[in-house]
Chain A
Amino acid sequence: MELYAILKLVWALLLGVLLIGLATMVGMDMGVGTLLRLVGKNDSERRTALNIIGPHWDGNQVWFILGGGAIFAAFPTLYATSFSTFYIVMILLLFSMILRPVAFEYRSKVDATRWRETWDWAFLVSGALPMIIYGAAFGNVLRGVGFHFSWDGQYYQDQSFIWYLLNPFAILCGVLSLSLSVQQGGAMLMLRGEEPIYGRAQYYAVRAGCLAALLFVIGGIWISFMRGFAYAGPVDPAMASTPLAGPPVVMRAGAWLDNFRAFPLLWLVPLAGLLGMLGAAFSLKANRPTLGWWLGVLAWLGTIGTTGVAMFPFLMPSTTMPSQSLSVWNAASSAYTLGWMLVFALVFVPAVLAYTSWAFWIMGGKVRTEKVAKSDHSY
């Protein structure tokens, strides 16, 4: 395999790692936001719940930013096309994402019920909506999207946004993603929270895990019969990165299972996902929140991994011009860019993981309601 092809492959894997990191860390905070009104019945309980992720939400959010940045750098054509094609939902996603930091910082700074109630609703919207959109984006990409390119590389959209907003499979994926984040957020609330937050978080997290497992199985069956995409002939993975001159692509039902058929070992990936969801639900039920949290990571790994394996090498197939479908081979950056980015990733990703873990360790332990009320910098 040529070096360029290996670099593309490595970056496809790194993209997966990033999306899993994003889902785990941001998803956890989103889950807490979604659960805020349910686990906290009064203001001091809600403040406690917020302060559980208080020291970390900002750092976690960078996974989201880095996700955008890394797609931009490693798969620029994918970044340009997907963000523009999904404009309406991307803008909604942005609106809810920018609402969240402000909600964190401003909510508890004024002691007035209406002010705080308003921000609590903002937490719900800015927690649930992004996770639904995140999942729905995967769903839509699996179904294929209507777009094509002109000769100079500009994309043109061939479908109205209603089509990707209201389609049942995407909604299923959206709810799956929301459930996983509720599970992860619930686990975190259990880790650092005390009764009554602990018990309420447990109630919702266990149910969310079971719902996720159910939706994951339904989604899996759906994908097996769904129209997938496949290259009609041999592809040169080291091809010049342009969707304009790609080999022909065929659409056929069941094509998303091709990779699993070719390499049956890959079935372990969805299996791991299912194991993660059910395992997490059981561990949380059995009052083992740490184990539950890590199994939640496994659940995300299995879910995103399954999507990646099913679609590989496609990233965003086109239904209206299949030969211009974006794939790992034709949407990546140049070898030079991928190489430099890899150097930076190899140095800084371990560093980020190290100091993030350190920050979690420093701030570890139960968050107590009395302390939150006293501390000057609490949310």
Chain B
Amino acid sequence: MIDPTVVNLSRLQFALTALYHFQFVPLTLGLSFMMAAMETVYVITGKPIYKEMTLFWGKLFGINFAIGVATGLTMEFEFGTNWSMYSHFVGDVFGTPLAIEGLMAFFLESTFVGLMFFGWERLGKEAHLAVTYLVALGSNLSALWILIANAFMQDPRGASFDPHTMRMQFSSFGALVFSPKAQAEFVHTSIAGYVCGAMFVMGISSFYLLSRRHREFALRSFRMAALFGLVSTLAVITLGDAAGREDYLVQPTKLAAMEGLWHTTRPPGEPWSLIAFPNDATRKNLFNFSIGIPYVLTPLVTHTFDQAIPGIAALKIQAAARVENGIQAVLALQRFARTGDPNALSRFKFYEPDMGYGFLAERFAPEQDLAKITPLDIHEVVTRTARASIPNVFVEYWSFRIMVAFGFIFLVVFAFGAYYSLRNTIEKARWVLHLAMWLIPAPVLVALYGWITAENGRQPWSVFGWLPTFQAASTHSLGYMIFSLLGFACLYTLFIGAELYLMFMYARLGPRGGAARPVPAAGPAALEPGNAARSWQ
């Protein structure tokens, strides 16, 4: 018997550790490229200010990078420690991109990051630049392989189930790597990282401009960041649209939840909902309230004017049929596993495409055993399973909308920033500076909403259509989970405290301050921007 509390705590732990880790990754992706760009300008023009820029942003990069690496370790091990069935079931496929990521990308990034920080005096200008580019390349390659792995969970390709080993076996490397889902996710996610990096640099530069310090440094950093951010945000929005279309094609339940579609759409007039309050219990919007823009949804999602998008009601009916088949598939598989009966195997083969839905039904079967389902309760098991095949609509709908809304806000801020910066009047446009400064953490939070959209929308599956999350967890006791959750909570809280403290301190010290002398004894006074600023000027 699987204990639902343990599964939920395992999910909580994974979600919290992944979200936590993902606070630091986008900044690494973005800052590494921005540093490479700054250093390129330094090598080409020979102007020392660009070296100063590379060094200063590199210092903040380092503070962020360390904690990103540290929390990434958790992710690599958590599949094994908390998702044993998942690891067994798809390890043959899923392990490969993870291992390749380590071999191809992580080694590159981590070995050269040491040289990047310590090698300034030992390497020539060009060699050091190459090292910086290798760090950026490594971190982006790392994202590529991780997202290939993640795409397999969303849209499993390149593998098939083998009843002899009771797991999915790898059958096509090409199909895994060139999965359209993986490509769409990779470009969207990594460029979202560039947006985070750009906003970080632009925001801190704005802070200097507002407090009239490090003027030349800040103006140059600001311009680079604004242009980089503008291009990146445009790309993220376009590529996000491509990612959404992939959801429509391969994860209809995710798309329906994202758009809050209780019923199948009527093209072409169907509005794109802007504000509604989906209620998962009653399966309609609160007060039946919804504001939307007509004629937008169909072309937005399907890229046509006449294709209907299936709604949740229709998807549940489809799921119900698959659940009935799936129960037969799992029962046959179980019999084959126990007796080796070839008839059971051929029966399983017949129902195989729906096997995952059979596993999904186990949770609602009497004593979690499909064999104990009687004709009296089969209807209820099927209905409950079909209902469970839909992700939480409220969470999906709103995390998606928050992400999109902020994407457009960033676009506006970067556009104005770039405009005023290119006209050399940015110091007068103080509202842009204020906005950019306050928005520093926003792209990171929005990236987290993107992660929630992607992963909440995948539920109730660990591997979409094949392995339910409920079955995927390790069979731990409650005590184990409390132990690890408490540990993570304490450690991670300490880390984020130390991280923010150092980030604020070094950002406030500014480029020359951080470089010339060690930091004075830290006290609350150092956190006052005025004090730190005065002491370094």
Beta-carbon contact of A377 and B81 below 8 Å: no
Beta-carbon contact of B81 and A87 below 8 Å: yes
Task: Please report which residues of chain A, range 89-106, place their CB below 8 angstroms from some CB of chain B when the two chains form the complex.
Answer: 90-91, 94-95, 97-102, 104-106
B110 CB contact (under 8 Å) in A62, A244, A336: A62
Beta-carbon contact of B111 and A356 below 8 Å: yes
Beta-carbon contact of A98 and B91 below 8 Å: no
Beta-carbon contact of A111 and B522 below 8 Å: yes
B334 CB contact (under 8 Å) in A111, A151, A340: A151
Which residue among A336, A352, A375 has the maximum number of chain B CB atoms within 10 Å of its CB? A336
Beta-carbon contact of B115 and A362 below 8 Å: yes
With both beta carbons as reference points, the residue of chain A lying nearest to B2 in the complex is identified as A154
C-alpha gap A69/B63 in the complex (Å): 25
Chain A residues within 8 Å of B347, by CB: none
Q: Is A262 an interface residue (CB 8 A)?
A: no
Beta-carbon contact of A152 and B337 below 8 Å: yes
Beta-carbon contact of A58 and B92 below 8 Å: no
Chain A residues within 8 Å of B476, by CB: 84, 87
Beta-carbon contact of B92 and A66 below 8 Å: no
Q: Is A56 an interface residue (CB 8 A)?
A: yes
Beta-carbon contact of A151 and B338 below 8 Å: yes
With both beta carbons as reference points, the residue of chain A lying nearest to B145 in the complex is identified as A69
Q: Is A254 an interface residue (CB 8 A)?
A: no
Q: Is B314 an interface residue (CB 8 A)?
A: no
Beta-carbon contact of B169 and A70 below 8 Å: no
C-alpha gap A376/B55 in the complex (Å): 9
Chain B residues within 8 Å of A345, by CB: 103
Beta-carbon contact of A94 and B77 below 8 Å: yes
Which residue among B69, B86, B94, B471 has the maximum number of chain A CB atoms within 10 Å of its CB? B69
Q: Is A203 an interface residue (CB 8 A)?
A: no
With both beta carbons as reference points, the residue of chain A lying nearest to B13 in the complex is identified as A91
Return A95 CB to nearest CB of chain B, in Å. 6
Tier of interface size on chain A: 35 or more
A84 CB contact (under 8 Å) in B81, B92, B119: B81
B104 CB contact (under 8 Å) in A59, A65, A344: A344
With both beta carbons as reference points, the residue of chain A lying nearest to B164 in the complex is identified as A240
C-alpha gap A345/B93 in the complex (Å): 16
Beta-carbon contact of A334 and B92 below 8 Å: yes
Beta-carbon contact of A73 and B98 below 8 Å: yes
Task: Please report which residues of chain B, range 330-375, place their CB below 8 angstroms from some CB of chain A when the two chains form the complex.
Answer: 334, 337-338
Binds B, one of A75-83, A137-145, A180-188, A294-302: A75-83
Interface string of B491-529 (1 = CB under 8 A from A): 100010010001001100000001100111110000000
Q: Is B114 an interface residue (CB 8 A)?
A: yes
Q: Is B220 an interface residue (CB 8 A)?
A: no
With both beta carbons as reference points, the residue of chain A lying nearest to B171 in the complex is identified as A336
Beta-carbon contact of B103 and A66 below 8 Å: yes
Task: Please report which residues of chain A, range 237-251, place their CB below 8 angstroms from some CB of chain B when the two chains form the complex.
Answer: 240-242, 244
Beta-carbon contact of A72 and B79 below 8 Å: yes
Chain A residues within 8 Å of B471, by CB: 154
A83-B84 contact given A100-B70, A377-B59, CB 8 Å threshold: yes
B103 CB contact (under 8 Å) in A84, A240, A333, A348: A348
Q: Is B474 an interface residue (CB 8 A)?
A: yes
Chain B residues within 8 Å of A57, by CB: 114
A102-B102 contact given A69-B95, A157-B475, CB 8 Å threshold: no
Beta-carbon contact of A106 and B66 below 8 Å: yes
C-alpha gap A309/B171 in the complex (Å): 32
Q: Is B80 an interface residue (CB 8 A)?
A: yes
Q: Is B112 an interface residue (CB 8 A)?
A: yes
Beta-carbon contact of A87 and B487 below 8 Å: no
Q: Is A223 an interface residue (CB 8 A)?
A: no
Beta-carbon contact of A77 and B99 below 8 Å: no
Task: Please report which residues of chain B, range 352-403, place their CB below 8 angstroms from some CB of chain A when the two chains form the complex.
Answer: none
C-alpha gap A104/B63 in the complex (Å): 10
Chain B residues within 8 Å of A102, by CB: 66-67, 70, 495, 498
C-alpha gap A157/B76 in the complex (Å): 22
Q: Is A55 an interface residue (CB 8 A)?
A: yes
C-alpha gap A61/B505 in the complex (Å): 28
Q: Is A196 an interface residue (CB 8 A)?
A: no
Task: Please report which residues of chain A, range 261-282, place their CB below 8 angstroms from some CB of chain B when the two chains form the complex.
Answer: none
A68-B76 contact given A105-B62, A337-B96, CB 8 Å threshold: yes
Beta-carbon contact of B100 and A240 below 8 Å: no
A66-B491 contact given A241-B165, A356-B111, CB 8 Å threshold: no
C-alpha gap A91/B99 in the complex (Å): 21
Beta-carbon contact of B114 and A69 below 8 Å: no
Chain B residues within 8 Å of A91, by CB: 81, 483-484, 487
Beta-carbon contact of A73 and B91 below 8 Å: yes
Beta-carbon contact of B74 and A98 below 8 Å: yes
Task: Please report which residues of chain B, range 37-71, place their CB below 8 angstroms from some CB of chain A when the two chains form the complex.
Answer: 55, 58-59, 62-63, 65-67, 69-71
Q: Is A225 an interface residue (CB 8 A)?
A: no
Task: Please report which residues of chain A, range 124-162, place their CB below 8 angstroms from some CB of chain B when the two chains form the complex.
Answer: 151-157, 161
C-alpha gap A84/B86 in the complex (Å): 12
C-alpha gap A240/B166 in the complex (Å): 10
A99-B117 contact given A105-B62, A377-B59, CB 8 Å threshold: no
Return B98 CB to nearest CB of chain A, in Å. 5
B170 CB contact (under 8 Å) in A59, A65, A340, A349: A340
Task: Please report which residues of chain A, range 30-77, place their CB below 8 angstroms from some CB of chain B when the two chains form the complex.
Answer: 54-59, 61-62, 64-66, 68-74, 76-77
Q: Is B123 an interface residue (CB 8 A)?
A: yes
C-alpha gap A68/B65 in the complex (Å): 21
Return B282 CB to nearest CB of chain A, in Å. 36
Return A16 CB to nearest CB of chain B, in Å. 16
Chain A residues within 8 Å of B120, by CB: 377
Beta-carbon contact of A72 and B99 below 8 Å: yes
Beta-carbon contact of A156 and B91 below 8 Å: no
Which residue among B67, B93, B102, B113 has the maximum number of chain A CB atoms within 10 Å of its CB? B102
Listed in ascending order, the chain A residues whose CB lies under 8 Å from chain B are 54-59, 61-62, 64-66, 68-74, 76-77, 79-84, 87-88, 90-91, 94-95, 97-102, 104-106, 109-112, 115, 151-157, 161, 240-242, 244, 333-334, 336-337, 340-341, 344-345, 348-349, 352, 355-356, 359, 362-363, 375-377
Listed in ascending order, the chain B residues whose CB lies under 8 Å from chain A are 55, 58-59, 62-63, 65-67, 69-74, 76-77, 79-96, 98-104, 106-108, 110-115, 117-120, 122-123, 162, 164-167, 169-171, 173, 334, 337-338, 471, 474-476, 480, 483-484, 487, 491, 495, 498, 502, 505-506, 514-515, 518-522
Per CB-CB distance, the 10 closest pairs between chain A and chain B, nearest first, are: A76-B91, A83-B80, A73-B95, A105-B66, A59-B111, A72-B95, A80-B87, A55-B114, A69-B99, A66-B102
- What are 18 contact pairs spanning A and B, CB under 8 A? A58-B113, A59-B112, A65-B76, A68-B77, A76-B91, A79-B95, A80-B80, A80-B88, A87-B476, A88-B483, A98-B73, A99-B491, A106-B63, A110-B505, A154-B88, A337-B169, A355-B111, A376-B55
Other than A69-B99, A106-B63, give 9 A-B pairs with Cβ distance below 8 A.
A79-B87, A88-B483, A91-B81, A97-B73, A153-B89, A153-B166, A333-B170, A334-B165, A363-B122
